[in-house]
Amino acid sequence: MNAFNYPESSRIFDRFARFYDQDYQHYDDDIEAILTLAAECGDPILDLGCGTGRVLLPLVKAGYDVTGVDISPALLECAANKLRLAGVKAQLVQADLRSYDLPVKTFAFSFCTSNTLMHFTTPTDQIAVLRNAARHLRPGGKLLIDLFNPDLQRLFAVDGLMELAGRWQDEESGAEVLKWCVRKVDPAEQLQETTFIYEEIFPDGRTQRTLCPFTLRYLWRSEAELMVQVAGLRVEEVWGDFDGAPYTGASEHLILIAAKPAR
């Protein structure tokens, strides 16, 4: 099993920067729930794997004190540009989620959404991320972890297939962008090797392909809960979606709400 490699992963995620915001421009399922938890917990807030600031920006606009951590300088540059255009500020930190060490170690709320934890491809690394998140939480502070619910039937159905996963017009270049997705599953190691292929077709007929390969390690509910406990946190709720519906085998998401025990 391959461990998460910092410099190589940074280069891979940098490739997403040019496409990410348009690719996920219609995805906001998690924002309302995260805003609600932010209102319950208060400041300061830590966004683990903040990327281009998709969730960080709405929190900052709502008046929260937010720090975002991400491995990719290109994604963080996008986030910084969006903050600047919106006329708001947040602290952005380029670091590994397993080992960042922030001056503020008393965050009231932290979240790790959009399968970010699954980019760490060994149990040891995933626990390291959770332990570091716990270390930066104040007693009573909460952590939200958002994972996809591993549906084996779906995982095997798409294994080896090339699927058209998205299509849009790039506003800046005028290119039509086709997003293709290829996945390969390893059930023994709980790994899904994924490649996003962004195919750009420019107005003059030129084409260009950008490959973004990455690996996800999916988790089962009992395993995820145990990891959270090993990290020193207490699981309070397990949701199947961002409306807070109870988790079931048919759920799309596996969302854990955990708290750091009060001393």
pLDDT digit string (tens) for 179-194? 999 999 999 999 999 9
Q: Residues 199-228: what's their mean pLDDT?
A: 97
Find the helix or strand (DSSP H, E) in which 61 lies: helix 56-61
Domains annotated for the chain, with CATH where assigned, are: 6-150+219-259 (3.40.50.150), 152-216 (2.20.25.110)
Q: Residues 105-125: what's their mean pLDDT?
A: 96
Report whether pLDDT(150) > 80.
yes
Tokens of 30: 């998690």
Residues near 218 by beta carbon (within 8 Å), at least 6 away in sequence: 118, 147, 148, 150, 190, 191, 192
**β-strand 176-186 against 191-201: which pairing, if any?**
antiparallel
Q: Residues 105-122: what's their mean pLDDT?
A: 96
| Per-residue confidence (pLDDT) for residue 8, from 0 to 100 | 60
Distance CA 234, CA 246 (A): 17
76 three-state secondary structure? helix
Report whether pLDDT(195) > 80.
yes
Residue 103 confidence class, pLDDT cut points 50, 70, 90: confident
Find the helix or strand (DSSP H, E) in which 178 lies: strand 176-186
Residue 10 confidence class, pLDDT cut points 50, 70, 90: confident
The label of the residue with tokens 């958002």 reads 146
Is pTM beyond 0.75 here?
yes
